[in-house]
Amino acid sequence: MAKVVILSGAGISAESGISTFRDSEGLWEHYDIKDICTAGCLETNRETTIEFYDKRRLDLADKEPNRAHRVIARLKAKYKDDIAIITQNVDDLFEKAGIAHEDIVHLHGYLTKVECEKCGLVYDIGYKKTQDSFNGKCPTCASGKIRPFIVMFGEAAPMYAKINQEIDDCELLVVIGTSGNVIAVDILSSYVDRTILNNLEPSITINDELYTKVLYKKATEAIDEIASEIEIFLEKRV
């Protein structure tokens, strides 16, 4: 397991123009969260749910990684086995920055992938609408029951087991751009000796007194200091 764990949330991608469901503007503005991203929405509101994620997928096509993604990609390339990248984000900005997809733990799924509800096949459709890839049918079993490869609120999140595995061996935890509403980062921090928290502003669900270093600023503005801390820490271990 890696000695440094970087856990990122929506805040790291916001500077690349990707809106979150807490934004007052953007793709989420005209949708009710309970209708398009909670367990059961594909049964009760399938058409609108598919439409929403198709729009998010198309919107992702021209989004570029920002400096925070690129610096983390550089660190991962330099210290491949010592750094674990875990993200709550479903975008592909870390991949666009140069990190191999298999080297990133996407806790909540991946926007360019879809899943066949009949046979379970997960496949990448790029930045297309669901209907525009294989005519909206599974390339293996031809079923038309295709869903976004996204973990909805209230659904099981199997990749969460990876957090526990990595935290067991973690010596430096870096939390970037998360409110703490979905993942209780304070609990994670209690298992690690050294921790860094970077958010744009304080969150009522995070006790910043629990963290070794706190940086309230944009991820792109904090990333150099974060990278320096990581490199100093890892070089001392050599």
Annotated binding site: 116, 119, 138, 141
Candidates 30, 101, 106, 108; catalytic one: 108
Annotated binding site for Zn(2+): 116, 119, 138, 141
Token match 């007194």: residue? Answer: 209
Task: Tell me how far apart the alpha carbons of residues 169 and 199 are, in angstroms, rounded to a whole number.
Answer: 24
Is 108 assigned a catalytic role? yes
Q: Are 15 and 219 in contact (CB under 8 A)?
A: yes
Q: Which residues are catalytic?
A: 108
